[in-house]
Chains A and B, each alone.
Chain A
């Protein structure tokens, strides 16, 4: 039963899925690390981005891997606007209000999509959807490999932004000490919005990587975002390496538990980990003690 012929493909599959989870979690953890809120609109934004990628393929004939370069900046701007002009002013600087506003946004976005596009499940046909690479022990789907590599490229770019640019330094300063950063002349409202924009751009990229092999309907993002919450909690809220390691771990756990428990209970495994981590070690595996 535990022969490597079965286990290796499952493991690789898990790592591939996990990479996309990690990217979604990266956006979430970035926002949490700086704004200290859990963005409940993350899943709805992912769904919106998946629809955007879907329609740019259907209407404009743009390959998802190309529309990535257009959608990422658009969603950055969208995220920036949402934080700057809605979440920021609406929540009056109170954490509880931020939770409610992001929840409200999630409800609005998700149901506006439902109202416009109905509950139909849509997929796109790309020529490379079923292409595989023969690794000897197993076959690897090309789109998933592209996704895997892209996630690490994005992570490196983010790391470069955070380490070497002024904006990145300002973001880190605000995350560490908001008041101090403000006293140094950093516009905290702007930095909050930039962070939210970066998180949203991550989601747009994840959507473009998902759409060649996945479907989209108005609830599609939710499945991912609950997993992303788990990853963020597991890796430690606000920790970027935590999100990457957490994402890969959860991807493997999911595909392993699907193998042993069946598909519907595979998800339960994730949530049980989630609850257990929240209760036992809420700061996560990589997070500092709160």
Chain B
């Protein structure tokens, strides 16, 4: 996408929503949706543009969440800098895990596995270490002031998460237009060819992992500010690894708006499934899994690519006739 206009338009449109919607239920739904979208935007940089499918993005989400919470609760830090440190921790985790995995040359299935294993190790450690509150979890004190990054109004939370999503949209847009983005896509399409052309695949993938980590960690930091609680199953659980991957894949991996569209569709379907069955656990995830398979099956470029997929389907017979 060359032009910035659609990005600006989408951000402006979303920013106007609380002016028309007062319902707390709807706003709450949108806040959680945008938080998942943000986690997905992080995944999208590494997985969508870079082709490195992580099955353990919880490592970033959880680290961001725990760092924000622990700095506030155990060290009395103000919420705003704690949020920044949480994001920085995402960068550090990204550097360490990325360096280990990419230097060892792990690709495809192996990369998916090692990220999954890191998430599981961190989850087990977090469930026994005293600093994370072990099995009990960490509770952030209720302090409804702007300076504590806690707001009475859902709308303010909405604008906070929207500004983070907007920042991630702009970062993605910049990457798409930059040389770094071109390298990243080259690595995704054919790593060996990209290296033969002088692209430093290790640095490029590492860069993508760090940016990806910071964005997904921000979603984790926001989670803590919004829900004021975190434990090992929330922070490093499979749910967030799956949702961070689901939203961009369903929306359209490697597109600017993919995670946003995917998050809206997935959350709407999930809520719908829960409403029909009276909030019995499990059914929303059954729907997610089915949508994931269906998208991979019928429209590998996601909902955003659906138009193209359909066009190609209708055009193909005509093209073949011409060739014949």
Q: Which A residues contact B (CB, under 8 angstroms)?
A: 32, 36-38, 40, 86, 89-92, 94-97, 99-101, 103-108, 110-116, 118-119, 218, 226, 229-230, 233, 264-265, 267-268, 271-272, 274-275, 278-280, 282
Contact = CB atoms under 8 A, between A and B. Distances in A.
Interface string B118-130: 1011001101100
B112 A38 contact: yes
Contact of B120 (A32, A91, A94, A226): A226
A99 B297 contact: no
A95 B112 CA distance: 12
B289 interface: yes
B105 A97 contact: no
B8 interface: no
Interface in B90-124: 100-101, 104-106, 108-110, 112-114, 116-118, 120-121, 124
Contacts of A96: 51, 53, 108
Contacts of B109: 32, 36-38, 95, 99
Nearest to A118: B281
B249 interface: yes
A105 B104 contact: no
Contacts of A105: 289, 293
B124 A278 contact: no
Nearest to B110: A282
A112 B281 CA distance: 9
Interface string B295-323: 01100100000000000000000000000
Nearest to B119: A271
Interface string B30-66: 0000000000000000000001010100000000000
B290 interface: yes
> 4 closest Cβ contacts across the A-B interface?
A107-B289, A115-B282, A108-B289, A114-B282
B contact face: mostly helix, strand, loop, or mixed:
helix
Given A108-B290, A229-B113, 17 more contacts: A96-B51, A100-B296, A104-B292, A105-B293, A107-B286, A111-B283, A111-B285, A115-B281, A115-B286, A116-B282, A226-B116, A226-B120, A229-B117, A271-B120, A272-B121, A278-B117, A279-B104
B282 A104 contact: no
Nearest to A218: B282
Nearest to A222: B238
Contacts of A38: 109, 112-113
Contact of A100 (B106, B249, B285): B249
Contacts of A89: 297
Contacts of B117: 226, 229-230, 271, 274-275, 278
A275 B111 CA distance: 11
A114 B127 CA distance: 23
